[in-house]
Structure 1
């Protein structure tokens, strides 16, 4: 299972997974609730401060931030373009800024939390749902797999694009969709076999 975890010993990495999840979720929700004004675009400074001051080291934190922004490039393009067409420049800048800032803040959870600790925290948080017939362990596993599979798909898409360039082709969605689908299904099969081998069905 691919993990986004970046080993470090800073305050964010030492913070228990449960409180960290709650804190970063509240910060992300506060960012998302900001008004659509020019000033809101300044919220993009928040991820800069959090990544640089998370205890990974300023240089390392900024590199992780840059990689995260690059991973969101299409989200940024699509969000900005749609907002610009339908709402205008100021709302487009403000709304794109707060969406990107919220996603970058949330991304600090898998960056600073091992998958096992994240799974345990989610399972404890979902425990009250057991009264409704929900298996907290399975629900937590599903959420954790979702979080960790997103970067896998992004990596597979990058590999498909690199393969197209190596063959002298210009990367395109039409040519890359089928190889990406095959790679994603192969990953799903491998993941399913791994879970079955551990007795999880």
Structure 2
């Protein structure tokens, strides 16, 4: 029996939506990773050209990941309790939600995600204060915003400015994320 890619519930083959979370099962598509094109071939000298001593180019320096920028953060989508590869960088102050033709775009648009049906247009705001502390604030979203710190068993619904710590789990409606400060890239 197939499973819902959002909440992991077993669903009948004939189901068009998940009975638990309401995800439209017909619109969920697999995303294939992009593959980098192969490097161009090294040209060979034309026939009859004098042989020259060919010095191979120096080996490229190994690419080191960039050092984290002080005060940067990201949220990474979780499905069925497992981190996905879908990460969203968080600037000094961002509004998270879905695009709306009336009010325009938001800083972090969750509209393309299957979980977006339970995310308000202007769902929540994440920002950093002058001391470097990060905060989450629910913007009156119908399905609420929740935080769970590592080691806690239940989410806490927020109703004001909620301080965030590295590793906290955030739920915006049914969309779950892991919050990371200065993530190692």
Please tell me the TM-score bracket, short chain as reference.
Answer: under 0.3
Q: Which has the higher helix share?
A: 1
Q: What is the TM-score of this pair, normalised by structure 2?
A: 0.21
Whichever of the two has the greater Rg, that structure is: 2
Q: What is the TM-score of this pair, normalised by structure 1?
A: 0.20
Q: Greater relative contact order (Cα 8 A, min sep 6): structure 1 or 2?
A: 1
Q: Which has the higher strand share?
A: 2
